[in-house]
Amino acid sequence: MLALFTHTFLVVSAQDVRILPAVSRSYAITQVTVIQGPGRKVEGATVVIKDGLITAVGKGVAIPSDAIQVKGDSLYVYPGFIDGLSRTGVNKPREDVPKEKPKDPGNPLPESAGITPYQDVRSFLNPLDKSIEEWRALGFTVIQVVPYGGMLPGSAAVISLTGTADKMVMVPGAALYAELTTAERVYPNTILGLLAKWKELYRQAQQAKSYATLYASNHTGVESPGTDRVLEAFYPVIDKKAPVLFKAEKNLDVQRILSLKNQLGFNVLLAEVKEGWDLIPSIKASGASVFLSLELPEEKKEKEKIDKEKLKDDQAIVPDSLERKALEKRKADFTALYVAQALAFQNAGVPFGFSSLSVKIKDVQPNLRRIIKAGLKEDDVLAALTTNPAKALGISDRVGSIDPGKIANLVISRKPYFDEKAKVKYVFVEGKLYKVEPAVVEKTDAEKKSEKP
């Protein structure tokens, strides 16, 4: 008697389908292996949930009378996963931008330049977005989402993968989101202009803020400064109340962002980092928080069939030559650096989370396994999915581990999650049970395959 949530049916009119809510908000998962956090495994335990929170965990824990029991034999329970940067559940803004030639490309409206830091991602949340269910099915329960846009799309929010657009928000205005994305046809059209514009905006914001404070204390005798929504969006950052969440995919992106941070002094969260291994010392020194990208470059399959087409390509370098072998080895060695990135951060003692902005859903679990194969311990991967991001996002008092008093966000899988044959069976988000149908999961994969860009 568990409620099923397949959203495709929800979208259809309320007359066809009668939604039957769960009979109770109490659950007990029994006889299950619980991994409360990294290095904290308990076998044959019971997890008790009531009204959205975890009330008890452990062996021989009492099962309340009104609890719906979930048999946990041969199942594994982990804290729900946390994603540092995503656009799951976020609508794209309507295309209002006119396509005609800009009259004065050097002085564009901020919107044309991608400078919209005053936008709030909450205005774009869509709880019916299909991908919410797809990510939940992987075990993700809390994600940090950002708006679409240019270099300063707006503020980020930390949301739960359940509930209405307002209920799902855990931390509004969690960060000011930024990308090194230049504007088209107007200033700033290159990374040169973008970085200069950033420095100017920040300094102007500092100036405006201090003057606004001065003005607020006594209005008489001085000209009104008016308001500036663009500059005001920086005030929480200047006050160190919110960090800048910066997409930092490539090595040089990270270098340039850290340089901005050192010059201007804001706190920064580096997200979607793909090429960070050479920058660990400077990242560590800067105190920036890090979310590594889950996307990894493809690896050449080990046993490759002789592909006639490919051989023609390589014939240019003379088949089986030393040069070709050396080049292939270099490529493979370099690709391995991407996979070993997380391990490098771990060994250097720099805590990190993961972000999912570019990775394809079907690659998430295989990529996690590749990272483990490269040497990162499972417990460390779990930390990157739970305790580390919870700390970085300032929500570790609420989520990140299975402890009484924390929100009931859980992933329950048949076989340990990092096993090749693991299958997520249930996911709890804020104490609401979602059953992951194997059919749904497969359809997702097939759908993704047919949805080639």
Partner 1 sequence: MKKYLTSVLNILLLLVAVTYGFAQEKGNLLIKGGTVLTVTKGTLEKTDVLIRNGIITQIGKDLSASAGVRVIDAAGKFVMPGIIDAHSHAALDAINEATSPVTAEVFTGDVLNPFQVGLYRALGGGVTSIHAMHGSANAIGGECETIKLRYGVKDADALRMEGAPRTIKFALGENPTRVHGGANNIVPRTRMGVEFVIREAFSKAKAYGEAWDTYNKSKTQKGFRGAPPAYSHRLETLSDILKGNIIIHCHSYRADEIYMLLKVCTDFGIKKLVFQHVNEGFKVAPELAKFGAMASVFADWWAYKFEVYYSTAYNAAILTKNGVVTSINSDDGELMRHLYHEAGKTQKYGGLTDDEALSLITINPAKQLGIENRVGSLEVGKEADVAIFQGHPLSTYAIPVITVVDGIVRFDREKDPDDVRIYVDPKEPLDASVIHSTNDYVDNCMQQAESNYNNLFELK
Partner 2 sequence: MTAVNIFIKLRVAAATIFALITLQLYAQSPKAKFGTFALTHATIQTVTKGTIEDGTVIIADGKITALGKDVAVPQGAEIIDCSGKWIYPGMIDGGTHLGLSEVGSDPRTRDFNEVGDVIPQLKALSAINPNSVLIPVTRVSGVTTVIATPEGDLMPGTAALINLHGYTPDQMFAGFEGVVLVFPNTGRKGFLDRRTPEEIRKATDKALSKLNESWDLAVQYHKLDSASKSTKYYPEMQALLPVIRGERTLIIEANTSKDILAVLKWVADRKVKKVILTGVAEGWRVAAEIAKAGIPVIAGPVLAEPTRDYDRYDKAYANPGLLKKAGVTVALRTTQAENVRNLPYNAAFAAAYGLGKDEALRSVTIVPAEMFGVADKLGSIEVGKNATLFVSDGDPFETKTNILHVFIGGWEMPMTSRQTELYQEFLQRDPGVTKK
Q: What is the CA radius of gyration of the chain?
A: 24
Q: Which of 14, 19, 316, 322 binds partner 2 (CB under 8 A)?
A: 316
Contact 77, 87 (CB under 8 A): no
Q: Which of 2, 109, 317, 348 binds partner 2 (CB under 8 A)?
A: 317
Helix, strand or coil, per DSSP, at residue 122: helix
Check binding of 185 to partner 1 (CB under 8 A): yes
Of the pair 109, 318, the CB lying nearest partner 2 is at: 318
181 binds, among partner 1, partner 2, none (CB under 5 to 8 A by kind): none
Contact 261, 268 (CB under 8 A): yes
Check binding of 203 to partner 1 (CB under 8 A): yes
Check binding of 287 to partner 1 (CB under 8 A): no
Task: State how far the Cα of 384 lies from the Cα of 290, in Å rounded to an integer.
Answer: 10
Task: State how far the Cα of 366 lies from the Cα of 356, in Å rounded to an integer.
Answer: 14
Nearest distance, CB of residue 452 and partner 2, angstroms: 13
Q: How far is CA 130 from the centre of its chain?
A: 16
Contact 251, 271 (CB under 8 A): no
Residues 6+ apart with CB under 8 A from 197: 113, 115, 151, 187, 188
Check binding of 297 to partner 1 (CB under 8 A): yes
- Burial environment of residue 158 by CB neighbours within 10 A (0 to 12, 13 to 18, 19 or more): buried
DSSP symbols for 172-209: EEEEEEE--PPPSSSSS-SHHHHHHHHHHHHHHHHHHH
Of the pair 323, 447, the CB lying nearest partner 1 is at: 323
Q: Which of 70, 151, 195, 238 binds partner 1 (CB under 8 A)?
A: 195
222 binds, among partner 2, partner 1, none (CB under 5 to 8 A by kind): partner 1
Check binding of 298 to partner 2 (CB under 8 A): no
Of the pair 9, 334, the CB lying nearest partner 2 is at: 334
Check binding of 315 to partner 2 (CB under 8 A): yes
Q: How many residues comprise the chain?
A: 453
Nearest distance, CB of residue 193 and partner 1, angstroms: 4
Q: Which two tokens stand for residue 74?
A: 């041969």
Check binding of 110 to partner 1 (CB under 8 A): no
Nearest distance, CB of residue 316 and partner 2, angstroms: 4
The binding track of 318-337 with respect to partner 2, each residue x by CB under 8 A or -, is: x--------x----------
Of the pair 10, 326, the CB lying nearest partner 1 is at: 326
Nearest distance, CB of residue 190 and partner 2, angstroms: 14
Q: Which of 92, 167, 199, 423 binds partner 1 (CB under 8 A)?
A: 199
Of the pair 221, 287, the CB lying nearest partner 1 is at: 221
Task: Give the C-alpha distances (Å, rounded to integers) separating 135 from 81, 356, 357, 418.
Answer: 10, 10, 12, 16
Q: Is 301 left (phi over 0), alpha (psi -120 to 50) or beta?
A: beta
The binding track of 206-245 with respect to partner 1, each residue x by CB under 8 A or -, is: -x---x--x---x--xxx-x--------------------
How far apart are the two ends of the chain, measured CA to CA in Å?
40
105 binds, among partner 2, partner 1, none (CB under 5 to 8 A by kind): partner 1
Of the pair 8, 190, the CB lying nearest partner 1 is at: 190
Check binding of 311 to partner 2 (CB under 8 A): no
318 binds, among partner 1, partner 2, none (CB under 5 to 8 A by kind): partner 2
DSSP symbols for 261-300: HHHH---EEEEEESS-GGGHHHHHHHT-EEEEES------
Helix, strand or coil, per DSSP, at residue 5: coil
The binding track of 379-408 with respect to partner 1, each residue x by CB under 8 A or -, is: ------------------------------
Task: Give the C-alpha distances (Å, rounded to integers) separating 38 from 55, 104, 160, 340, 387.
Answer: 20, 56, 22, 20, 8
Residues 6+ apart with CB under 8 A from 133: 5, 6, 7, 434, 440
Task: Give the C-alpha distances (Å, rounded to integers) separating 194 from 91, 119, 283, 285, 370.
Answer: 25, 19, 22, 25, 36
207 binds, among partner 2, partner 1, none (CB under 5 to 8 A by kind): partner 1
Check binding of 190 to partner 2 (CB under 8 A): no
Task: State how far the Cα of 446 lies from the Cα of 420, in Å rounded to an integer.
Answer: 19
Of the pair 195, 399, the CB lying nearest partner 1 is at: 195
Q: Which of 129, 314, 378, 419 binds partner 1 (CB under 8 A)?
A: 314
| Contacting residues toward partner 1, per CB under 8 A | 101, 104-107, 185-193, 195-196, 199-200, 203-204, 207, 211, 214, 218, 221-223, 225, 251-252, 255-256, 259, 275, 278, 282, 297-298, 313-314, 316-317, 323-324, 326-328, 330-331, 334-335, 338
| Contacting residues toward partner 2, per CB under 8 A | 312-313, 315-318, 327
